[in-house]
Structure 1
Amino acid sequence: MAAEVAGTSSESVPSDRLAARLAREMTGDVLFDRFSRGRYATDASFYQIMPAGVVVPRTMDEALRALAIARDEGVKVTPRGGGTSQCGQTVNDGLVVDLSKHLNKVLSLDLAGRTCVVEPGIVLDDLNRQLKKHGLWFPVDVSTASRATIGGMAGNNSCGGRSLRYGTMRDNTLAMEASLADGTLSRFGEVSHDLSDVGSDDSARALFRDMLDLGAREAEEIAARFPKVQRRVGGYNLDALVPRNAPNNMAHLLVGSEGTLAFTTKVELKLWPVIRNKALGVCHFGSFYEAMDAAQHLVKLKPIAVELVDRTMIALGRDIAMFKPIINAAIKGDPDAVLVVEFAEEDQADNLVRLKQLGELMGDLGFGWTNDQRKWGGVVEITEPALQSGIADFRAAGLNVMMSMKQEGKPVSFVEDCAVPLPHLADYTARLNEVFARHGTSGTMYAHASEGCLHVRPVLNLKLEKDVKAMRAIAEEAFALVREYKGSHSGEHGDGLVRSEFHETMFGERLVADFREVKQRFDPAGVLNPGKIVDAPRMDDRSLFRFKPGYRVTELKMKLDWSAYPGAGGGFQGAVEMCNNNGACRKLEGGVMCPSYRTTRDERDVTRGRANTLRLAISGQLGADALASDEMMETLKLCVSCKACRHECPTGVDMAKMKIEVLAARAASHGLTLRDRLVGYLPRYANLASRLAPLANLRNRTPLLRKLLERFAGISARRALPAFRSDVFVPPAEVVGSEGGREVVLFADTFNRIYERENLDAALRVLVAGGYRQKPGCTRASNHPSRTSNKRPWTPSFRKLESAIYGCGYNS
């Protein structure tokens, strides 16, 4: 195993006193061991900072108590929801407070007023499932809706794909309740400029007065320097403080503040009627530039979204089984880019009219169906709800699809959500590609084209110093282009560690000083998530990276084939590192990933948490022999090897296969336990046990035997074992089915043969009814080494497959 990674020695060492106080005064989880801290050291960015500890409060009072204890101990606090931040907002070396497990309730719902109040840990999809039965939804539909929490979305000022109609998180947040770092609990909402509607005894009155005075003082500078694009989520929202002919909403200063100003306890949201009818037009273009240039014209039809998918994303999607049929149905030929234009009027007839107008407009722009590849285009109309949902899922998975490349270099997020005015979008993207080329790379692109917000990720390997330097240079040149076009260097994903250091060049020295003034007024001791928005480190400080300068994985001896991936262990390293922490495995409904997380809601039991633990272990960051340790076994204990992650994770992380390697490492290091042997060798003794079924089943009827087996084999005395039976399944001695039917082989596994033969009997009946036939001896039982009742009419390749599946040996 590799030595501990260089740079980790400077990470915070857990405070025994802090951990003891938290454990004494909280009922929620208090996690200060290295494995748990490692699981919270990353988000969906390329950063990794080991926290001092983690708490998972059961109540908001406990969360505020944790904040108070940390303040007393001089430890910084970072609130965390789904941990899906792209820019490093939710990592820090202090105390992480995970609000997602317990603080996730709808506190009130006003149907007439179309508002609701929620706890910050509620997941967007979960909220919308509860609202749907009332005909309402919260429309800030981020691509990570299955795991993004409302508190995290407010902290980030999230936007979503339909902000053209519904606006951003700021536009849909009515009020917030939050605690300042000193423990002051206040309500942030609309206030008049003279604060006549705020009580004189309100502890927040003086704070509000100072903020409104700052807004009045800096109104001209704010008007001059803040980008005039809807998608601007950089810095503090000082424009919410300037004088106007309407109340100022103080909650809008907290929105987008990334947990640096206050600790959110409640969020009041504006709700909208659900979309009942939709129509999509998939517009095809022969060049990327033409697609970007066309966006400014297509928005004139008033769609609710115009989304870009480029050639790279189309090709990657066609290699993913769940997306291939969707792409084949929606995309014709080989376009360089498509724009997905979505209409959602109340009357479907209106949507169909606009869809027709879209085709006519594309023709007027010179992009009708044609054989001329220079002006190749056209519109595929999508009105079927199932296909519309499939396209939406593909777009939502865009970030992860881009990360599915099985190579050392990956698309890296750092300039990926810049926003420029629509008339400049085509020129900006063309010049950005020139920047990439100058630095020896290319980028993957997709966009909220209706908003001029481009999701672009240059392909880089951040384990290499030269690529880190290229990243820095690309960032500086890209942000200069954004300033030239009067755009925003952050149009959706916030500041975090990636962009905060660039605020002075974006907003100017005076406004950055104002940002610092706001931070100082709210949080003078710097307790709340410091290093974000103001006083940030350099974005290319490699000591903060997931792959630090000393990151390495020594050669590992693996049991399975990982050759499709790069890195040590025949590619095992690369397979583990495919997890980009985007958290699709944290979804609570839809599909089946990840069943153990859905039960426990613990980061330890989600595929992402397990993959992070494996990466830290094989790179030496969790100590010697971590791969075979007790803590690693605890991490994988509840993985049921269902393979859901392999099929539903957009980057294909196969935790069931990885668990086999961990079990092999454990066996090699510690040997097999009695329990391992009883379970693993069941096929070897199952036939004998079935002949002695009454004796073998005696354990279930004898309390003493139950206790002995629990003590020596770790099999719970409270649980009955499957009962052996003497009438085991035996393959038929004659042909089953008609002579003319197609021949089949029935694989008879140990459990069904020995315990539940009815399943195999029923399977044979179904096969016969379906017109199949089975020759004598062609039922393959997996009870190695006994093969006396099963002839083996197999080809060598079939026997190799048999060996791979059952581990029962192969002889030619």
Structure 2
Amino acid sequence: MTAQDITAALRTAVAGEVDDSDRRRAEYSTDASNYRVVPQVVVAPRDADDVLAALDVARRLEVPVTARGGGTSVAGNAVGPGMVLDFSRHLNKVLSLDPEARTAVVQPGVVMSDLQAVARPHGLRFGPDPSTQNRATLGGMIGNNACGPHAVAYGRTADNVRSLEVVDASGRRFTAGAGSGALDVVPGLEKLVGANLATIRTALGRFKRQVSGYSLEHLLPENGTDLAKFLVGSEGTLVTVLEATVDLVAMPTAPVVVALGYPDMPTAADAVPALLGFDPLAVEGIDARLVDVVRRHRGPAAVPELPPGGGWLLVEVGAREGEGPEDVLARARALAAAGGTDAAAVVPAGAQADALWRIRADGAGLGGRTPAGDPAWPGWEDAAVPPERLGDYLRDYTALMADRGVDGLLYGHFGDGCVHVRLDLPLETPAGIGPSREFLEASADLVARYGGSLSGEHGDGRARSELLDRMYTPEVLDLFGQVKTLFDPAGHLNPGVLVDPAPLDADLRRPYAKPTPARKGFAFLEDGGDFATAVHRCTGVGKCRADNSAAGGFMCPSYQATKDEKDVTRGRARVLQELTNGSLIPTWDSPAVRDSLDLCLSCKACSADCPTGVDMARYKSEVLHRAYEGKVRPVNHYLLGQLPRWTGLVTKVPGLARLSNTVLKARPLARLVLRAGGMDPRREMVTFAEERFSTWWRKRDDGATASSRARLDTATATGAPPAVGASSSARASKGRAPERAAADGVARRRVVLWADSFSETLDNDGARAAVTLLEQAGYEVIVPAENACCGLTWISTGQLDGAKKRLTHLLGVLAPYAANGIPVVGVEPSCTAVLRSDLPDLLPDDPRAQMLADDTYTLAELLTAPAPVGPGPDWVPPSLEGVEVVAQPHCHHHSVMGWEADAALLARAGATVTRLAGCCGLAGNFGMEAGHYDTSVAVAENALLPALREAGPDTVYLADGFSCRTQADQLAGRHGVHLAQLLTGQR
């Protein structure tokens, strides 16, 4: 039976999407694991009937089936060679919730945080809460028996499932429940359990986190003969879940966090048994090195002060029935006293407690790289041992790591004895596969010696199923095989997992990616100069699929609009990873690559929000650069991609900008021009500045002042600068700017205001206001005599040769100022971000590039910086008391520079600020291009447009980005202002 026959049969039987394109198969070829198994077809069923129809086709045509939720499985549980069923696309609803019974009925594709949102108004929640809860689905959690920090109090997913509506491999649909007769729905199951009671009682269910293999202990009569709980954790190898009834628990009240510091992680683990008697809600272990990584990635302010130590326990205590806040505090203090350490802090619920938990939550993603920045892989992700043996296990395991030269960040659910770690196994080349296997085998032997479980919550999958014989006897493994035969006699459900396992070193993804050295485009300095290494930063953890706005994130705007794996950072990374192995997707200009990148807004949000540092905007630029090398490009690349060239020509000729603006107000003509230029005719043409900023600057003062300023400008730019290779960063607070100013007899600090091409030729109100504000703050403002473009639009369209030419020219204009310790302040965030991020990677051999990047500031960064860069402690920003502001941070501002300085400056000024999270949707050329309008509007509807509709008429719309102001103006008729305009009273 050919793949085409299978697809044809499915399209006849199924109403949902059926896709066998190379691009779609690439997107689903891996999950959050190390494995790559390319499916024949991907099906997104619309309802349960679709699922049954798809399974019927699979059964008739003997096609393997793998069920998939959010695709965050780290053990290779959600990849398979035949049909992949994606439940997250359509079967993602909470069907009902009964607050009295404390139950909910859910479809398997429901994201866990969505269930929590529905339950929260009733004071309820689903107990288990893995760190991926804002993208993990209930079906996936049921498949893997997910747990999370609060499993100490609420148990595993298995402990919170009441019944399951399922269908097995033979097409039998039944409700799995508990009690007498529960096993009758599967012929032979009751007899098999009865014949193996001794084996089940002695080998399985020995401690809470023993989830490896099949959890047959739930079928024992003393455990309620619970078929539903048994099926939880079977990893899609026995049944396909259609619907689940789950238990809910009361939300904890007055929770208090106790932070306990110890010399190291094993010592922290030794203290766990003594703490469990206090009925904690969670007992989490974190390592000092993980805290350091969070601090580097999120910034020092993201990490609250912890008690002294090299390893910590974060213990959460909540109210028991009848207890009040004071009772909880008293129990928390008693727990702290029993922790065996004087390094203790009791933190009531609030911002500091939330920040402590974010350290732990970030571990799931940040653990994907070692402290040295090397890739760290799953594979030994969640082994568990009885809590009373955890300290000794950690000592032996860390010794094993040291002996084998393996590194990774340890953290985990210490209250349950479960340890998370990703390891820098040498998986970049096939030569590293053997040593990696040997380490995993040794790890399995060690955890077995401690009576532990290869998996404590993520399932065995392809990573550990082969190792089950090191944990279980042949009798137990034979029993697992008999169970599999009862439910799936042909072995078509998730083959290669648990029973008849695939080798743990088969189908690995990373070793077979071909080196793809940098070539004339980006250097990929942080990835060893290799594009393949860069795109393999994506480990599939799937944070890009979540609604990150609640945490102030912007990633991934196109996915939030379409909810299609094609349009999420992870899906794009998978396609580019396939490009680097050259099999499924062979060339840079493949249709699959083009389609995958088409709706990427190049917002760069992933570069900040993705815990592994994926920068899809950069990857897209590099792909376009290579795909169109020596070829004719789309017309919008020449028009929008070289926009500063055309706006410069229009505004250079006196009167031409005014004439163009007048003519293009005629909508028929504007639509014709837009369509001819590869743009959407529903858009409006940009308005050209009728007076350039540089012209305004030259005319601004009388001859004497202008002459003085010109002499200052020329002397600074052409004077003998320090050696460029020397450390001359103003950002490093060397104090050079004020010293040089004093030597030249100028009392005020000097600063260069760099008006980019947008601020020069399209909208220069912000640049003009910046001059006024900086002078009010005591700066001597310098505007270079020569305009300098950063090449942003060339970068976003992959015209990297042209971008490099412009950046080389820009260095000649701006670098002398930085070399003299004079900071450069950008007006447009996206252009400022180019100098801070793209410039050093495009021109890595020019030492001026990093120097200028280090000395480039946003306006808010400069005004909030300490002396000698900042305006000094005596400067007070203009009052914004009583001013309501809706602020749209530009994506590049958020991603590269961060918006914290802006927030601090506005708070100091007294403004009341509603800070939006998420992209405006225009994203430079993206929203203007034909085919992108609907997505652009949908992205704007995520945050921007609703906020503008709700804002009062006197509310100020603050947007430093030209794109953000343009989007609001065109879609909402709302005028936006730059920060400089706001602070100078131009509202």
User: What SS does structure 1 have at the residue aligned with 2:624?
Assistant: helix
Contact 2:31 2:74 in 1 (8 A): yes
Q: Shift of the alpha carbon at 1:617?
A: 1.1
Residue 315 of structure 2 is aligned to residue 341 of structure 1: yes
Q: 2:335 aligns with which of 339, 358, 367?
A: 358
CA distance in 2 between counterparts of 1:278 and 1:546 reads 43
Q: Say whether the 8 Å CA contact 1:216–1:243 is kept in structure 2.
A: no
Q: 2:592 aligns with which of 631, 639, 652?
A: 631
Matched, 1:461 2:426: yes
Tell me, in whole angstroms, the C-alpha distance in 2 between the residues paired with 1:433 and 1:507.
24
1:560 aligned onto 2:522: yes
Matched, 1:477 2:438: no
Q: Quick check: 1:734 aligned with 2:700?
A: yes
Query: Which whole-Å CA distance do the structure 2 matches of 1:78 and 1:535 have between them?
Result: 16
**Partner Cα separation in structure 2 for residue 295 and residue 505 of structure 1:** 27
Instruction: Report the CA distance shift for 1:532/1:775 in structure 2 as closer, same or farther (over 3 A).
Output: closer
Q: CA deviation at 1:741?
A: 6.8
Change (3 A) 1:217 1:640: same
Contact 2:184 2:190 in 1 (8 A): no
Q: Residue 325 of structure 1 corresponds to which residue in structure 2?
A: 301
**Is 1:80 matched up with 2:68?**
yes
Equivalent of residue 604 in structure 2, options 640, 643, 660? 643
Q: What pairs up with 1:208-287 in 2 under 5 angstroms? A: 208=186, 210-244=188-222, 247-287=224-264
Give the aligned partner of residue 510 of structure 1. 475
SS in 1 for 2:286: strand
Asked whether the 8 Å contact 1:281–1:341 carries over to 2, the reply is yes
Cα pair distance change 1:14/1:144, threshold 3 Å: farther
Change (3 A) 1:131 1:557: same
Which structure is richer in relative contact order (CA contacts within 8 A, separation 6 or more)? Answer: 1
Pair 1:783–1:505, CA change in 2 (3 A): closer
Question: After the TM superposition, which residues 109-120 of structure 1 pair with which residues of structure 2 at under 5 Å, given as runs?
Answer: 109-120=97-108
| Contact 2:752-2:784 at 8 Å conserved across structures | no
Q: Is 2:634 aligned against 1:673?
A: yes
The normalised TM-score by structure 2 is 0.72
Structure 1 residues 208 and 667, CA gap change in structure 2 (3 angstroms): closer
State how far apart, in whole Å, the 2-side matches of 1:214 and 1:169 are. 25
Structure 1 unaligned regions, length at least 5: 1-12, 196-204, 369-377
Work out whether 1:617 is the aligned partner of 2:579. yes
- Aligned residue identity for 1:412: W
Alpha-carbon distance, 1:148 to partner: 0.5
Native 8 Å contact 2:670 2:684 kept in 1? no
Q: Which residues of 2 match residues 49-68 of structure 1 at below 5 A?
A: 49-68=37-56
Letter in 2 for 1:717: P
Which deviations, in whole Å up to 9, do the C-alpha atoms of 1:312-339 show, x marking residues without a partner? 32332232134x3343x23355x32111
Q: Is the 8 A contact 1:227 1:488 kept in 2?
A: no
Write the distance in 1 (CA, Å) between the matches of 2:3 and 2:685.
45
Query: Do the aligned partners of residues 793 and 252 (structure 1) sit closer, same or farther apart at CA in structure 2, a change above 3 Å counting?
Result: closer
**Residues 437-496 of structure 1: CA distance to partner in whole angstroms, max 9, x if unpaired?**
343334432121111112234431123456433333333333333333322222111111
Structure 1 residue 672 displacement after superposition = 2.8
Cα pair 1:415 1:457 within 8 Å, conserved: yes
- Report how far residue 781 of structure 1 moved: 7.2
- Deviation of 1:726 after TM superposition, in Å, equals 3.6
Unaligned runs of 5+ in 2: 710-745, 792-804, 849-987
Shift of 1:600: 0.9
Choose 247-256 or 264-273, whichever is displaced more: 247-256
Aligned-residue sequence identity (percent) comes to 34
CA apart distance, 1:811: 15
Report if aligned partners of 2:518, 2:524 keep a CA contact under 8 Å in 1.
no
Q: Return the alpha-carbon distance in structure 2 between the equivalents of residues 677 and 84 of structure 1.
A: 40
> Equivalent residue of 1:507, what SS?
coil
Q: Give 2:795's aligned residue.
A: none
Query: What is the CA-CA distance between 1:273 and the residue it aligns to?
Result: 1.6
C-alpha spacing 1:457/1:684, structure 2 compared with 1 (3 Å): closer
1:796 corresponding residue in structure 2:
816
Tell me the alpha carbon deviations over residues 508-527 of structure 1, each in whole angstroms, 9 at most, x when there is no partner. Answer: 22222222222211122222
Conserved? CA contact 1:731–1:779, under 8 Å: no
Deviations 1:764-788 (A, max 9, x none): 56656666664577896759999xx
Q: How does 1:108-507 map to 2 (within 5 A)?
A: 108-193=96-181, 206-208=184-186, 210-244=188-222, 247-322=224-299, 324-327=300-303, 329-333=304-308, 335-345=309-319, 347-362=324-339, 365=340, 367-368=341-342, 378-383=343-348, 385-405=350-370, 410-464=375-429, 467-507=432-472
Q: Name the CA shift for 1:102/1:798 in 2 (closer, same or farther; >3 Å).
A: farther
The aligned counterpart of 2:495 is 530
Distance 1:122 1:623, change over 3 A: closer
Is contact 2:532-2:577 (8 Å) kept?
A: yes
Shift, 1:688, TM fit: 4.1
- Structure 1 position 636, deviation (Å): 1.4
Q: 1:458 to 1:728 in 2, by over 3 A?
A: closer
Separation (CA, whole Å) in 1 of partners of 2:50 and 2:778: 64
What residue in structure 1 maps to residue 683 of structure 2?
719
Partners of 1:91 and 1:776 lie apart in 2 by 57
Structure 1 residues 779-800: Cα deviation after superposition (integer angstroms, max 9, x where no partner): 96759999xxx9x985526599
For 1:283 and 1:811, locate their aligned partners in 2 and report how far apart those are by CA, in whole Å. Answer: 46
Question: Which of 509, 513, 525 is 1:546 aligned to?
Answer: 509
TM-score scaled by structure 1? 0.86
Instruction: Report which stretch shifted further, 588-597 or 350-359.
Output: 350-359
Match of 2:557?
595
Q: Deviations over 1:737-785 (max 9, x none)?
A: 9998755544444445555455555555665666666457789675999
Cα RMSD between the aligned structures?
3.4
Equivalent pair of 1:14/1:52 in contact (CA under 8 Å): no
Superposed displacement of residue 531, structure 1? 1.5
Once structures 1 and 2 are overlaid, which stretch shifts more, 512-521 or 265-274? Answer: 512-521
Distance 1:476 1:538, change over 3 A: same
Contact 1:107 1:118 in 2 (8 A): yes
Deviation at 1:99, TM superposition (A): 1.0
Distance in 2 between the 1:525 and 1:154 partners? 23
Give the letter aligned to residue 588 of structure 1. D
The aligned amino acid for 1:620 is: G
The letter for the 1-side match of 2:294 is G
Q: More displaced, 337-346 or 752-761?
A: 752-761
Structure 2 CA distance for partners of 1:415 and 1:524, relative to 1, 3 Å: same
Q: Verify the 8 A CA contact 2:688 2:763 in the aligned structure 1.
A: no
Are the counterparts in 2 of residues 406 and 574 from structure 1 also a CA contact under 8 Å? no
* 1:754–1:24 Cα change, 3 Å: farther
- Mapped to 1, the partners of 2:121 and 2:786 lie a distance apart of 50
Q: Which moved more, 1:768-777 or 1:235-244?
A: 768-777
Moved more, 556-565 or 80-89: 556-565
- Partner amino acid for 2:161? T
